[in-house]
Amino acid sequence: MELTQEAARPRRQIHDAWIVLGAVVFVVFCTSGLRGSFGVFIKPLEAEFGWTRSMLSGVASLSLLLWGATGPVVGYLADRWGPRRVILAAVSVLGVGSLLTSEVSSLWQLYLTVGILMPVGAGGLGPAITSIIAARWFETHRGLAVGLFGAALSAGQLVGFPLTVWLTLRYGWRNAFLWLGIGLLATALLPTFWLVRDDPAEKGVQAYGAGRSQSGQGQAPAVPERRVTLSEALQVPAFWWLAITFFICGYTTAGLISTHFVPHTVEHGFSEMHAAQALGVMGATNIVGTIASGWICDRFGRKGPLAFYYGVRGLSLLFLLYVWDVPSLHIFAAIFGLNFISTIPPTIALTANIFGRYSVGVLLGWIFFAHQLGAALGAQIGGWLFDATRSYTGAFLSAAALAFLGSGLTLLIKEEPIATVTMPTPTPVAVPAS
């Protein structure tokens, strides 16, 4: 009798949303270390070609700018054609760009590969795509899903930065680009093709948690399912505050730290491996901070935590100016890592709650473009100030000041859905499962 009752119980199956999430998380993990590793190559490129810090900062600046500029286009394409095809194309372009970089012999070629091809590919795997996956596949635990994407970015850096340093020191920077590109193409294309689908309807299911009560989860009221155009969003102050604060996020992280942290530490008496270890610590705490940020957003709101993250970031940048040994370097890395990407879950959640989940792709693409404008400016200013003063002190002070400003601006965001009229949403085009 007990066996009969046990057999009659339905088996608990894993919802397809978690399978899609896991596949995209893995792809983001594979790409993030390669995408953000250019700072590792600055010193070797200077040594081989004699290029100045400003010249190489220009490559990084262009790369960061184009990475952001592709966001609106990627969001537009993914909103209408589905994220799966965009991800497949992005991985291919990023991998090929890395392979071609291993053969460069002049500065214009580096601008073409690292400055153009690789960021265009990386742009197809940025927040615009991951936010669409989270918004379409998750009705509940959306903040957690976004946090896991951020954790994948961090984990990729945790593995990718030390791996890149090791490959560069052991086999040279050319072979490092070569093997990183081969590794990306070999590992990231298959799970995307096999497991990722554009919409729950393709699998005959609803979004995870659809129909459940949102009470007690810190969620804003549901926004009607319609698209909010960019022109509409530009009339809402919240859009501008989100864009400006994300501009500051880019300046303080991808612009300065990702580009100039390694050369800054080396020029202060630390070895390349010390810098790589610090970046590994940063990536490890980033995983914790980003997942925790998604959990906090789901339960306690978004504005307060976001303001806190920017404040802590400003303090940690000031602390970097006084780092004196390896333990203090690791302390900085741990503190900064906790909020390196923790700003992404609340920013995406605010965008979705205010403008609607079917507007996230395009609008967040533009918000992310603001992030990359800040990153490009931070990378370039860091190079200019270093060449002028032989120090990064001015650059880090400017970043700390902006982080404190971002903390205050975050509190001005009014989190209320702007859409009150339901409009028909185009049905996603189903792509036959392969």
d(CA 160, CA 147): 19
Number of domains forming the structure of the chain = 1
Q: What is the CATH number of the domain that holds 44?
A: 1.20.1250.20
pLDDT score recorded for residue 317: 93
Higher pLDDT, 429 or 70: 70
Q: In the prediction, which pLDDT does 358 show?
A: 67
In a domain, 427, yes or no: no
Instruction: Give the pLDDT confidence score for residue 213 in this predicted structure.
Output: 41
Q: Is 215 domain-assigned?
A: no
User: Could you tell me the pLDDT band of residue 271, with boundaries at 50, 70 and 90?
Assistant: confident
pLDDT at 426: 43
pLDDT tens digits along 379-393: 889 888 888 888 888
CA distances from 212 to 16, 40, 140, 223, 351 (A): 17, 47, 8, 15, 21
The model's pLDDT over 18-48, given as tens digits with 9 standing for 90+, comes to 888 888 889 988 888 787 778 788 889 988 9
Q: How confident is the model at residue 160 (pLDDT cuts 50, 70, 90)?
A: confident
What is the arithmetic mean of pLDDT over 336-343? 84
Quote the pLDDT of residue 169: 87
Contact 261, 276 (CB under 8 A): no
pLDDT at 159: 77
Say what the pLDDT of residue 6 is. 44
Between 214 and 235, residue with greater pLDDT: 235
What is each CA distance from 281 to 161, 187, 228, in whole angstroms? 11, 25, 40
Q: Which of 192-196, 353-357, 409-413 has maximum average pLDDT? A: 409-413
Instruction: Write the CA distances from 106 to 45, 166, 247, 418, integer angstroms.
Output: 11, 24, 31, 50
Please report which confidence band the pLDDT of residue 11 belongs to, taking 50, 70 and 90 as the band edges. Answer: low
pLDDT number for residue 428: 43
Residue 208 lies in a domain: no
pLDDT in tens, 282-335: 877 877 887 788 778 777 778 888 999 999 999 999 999 888 888 999 999 999
How many helices (H) and strands (E) the chain has is answered by 19, 0
Report if residue 26 sits inside a domain: yes
Mean pLDDT of 257-271: 83
Q: Which residues are registered as beta bridge partners of 208?
A: 138
CA distance 429 to 434: 15
Q: What is the pLDDT of residue 280?
A: 77
Closest CA to 155 of 321, 258, 285: 285
> What are the backbone dihedrals phi and psi of residue 241, each rounded to the nearest 5 degrees, phi first?
-65, -40
Amino acid at 86: V
Whole-number pLDDT of residue 214: 45
Residue 160: which of 33, 248, 37 has the closest Cα? 33
> How far apart, in Å, are the Cα atoms of 351 and each of 22, 85, 153, 230, 415?
23, 24, 20, 12, 9
Q: For residue 377, what are its two tokens? A: 């400016």
**Cα–Cα dist 257/323, whole Å:** 14
**What is the rounded average pLDDT of the residues 339-359?**
80
Q: How far is Cα 268 from Cα 391, in angstroms, rounded to an integer?
A: 10
179, part of any domain: yes
pLDDT of 68 higher than 80: no
CB atoms under 10 Å from CB of 190, counted, come to 12
Residue predicted with more confidence, 44 or 78: 44
**pLDDT-above-90 percentage for the chain:** 23
Indicate whether 4 belongs to any domain: no
Alpha helices (runs of H) in 196-302, residue ranges in sequence order: 230-233, 237-250, 257-266, 272-300
Per-residue confidence (pLDDT) for residue 224, from 0 to 100: 45
Contact 212, 140 (CB under 8 A): yes
Which pLDDT does position 264 carry in this prediction? 86
Task: Give me the phi and psi of 422, to 5 degrees please.
Answer: -75, 130
Q: Average pLDDT for residues 181-205, to the nearest whole number?
A: 86
Token pair of 313 as six digits: 């970031």
In a domain, 433, yes or no: no
228-232, 364-368, 430-434: lowest mean pLDDT where? 430-434
Residues 6 or more apart in contact with residue 304 via CB below 8 angstroms: none
Whether the pLDDT of residue 356 is over 50: the answer is: yes
Please, what is the average pLDDT of the chain? 81
Q: Is 175 inside any structural domain?
A: yes
Answer whether residue 434 shows pLDDT above 80.
no
Q: Are 12 and 188 in contact (CB under 8 A)?
A: no
Residue 225's pLDDT band, with cuts at 50, 70 and 90, is: low
Average pLDDT in the 121-140 region? Answer: 80
For residues 191 and 157, the model is more confident at 191
Confidence (pLDDT) at 212 = 56
Residue-number span of the structural domain to which 25 is assigned: 15-202+223-410
Task: Measure the CA–CA gap between 322 and 26, rounded to whole angstroms.
Answer: 36
Rounded Cα–Cα distance for residues 87 and 27 (Å): 9
For residue 171, how many other CB atoms are within 10 A of its CB? 12
- For residue 236, the surrounding DSSP H or E stretch is none
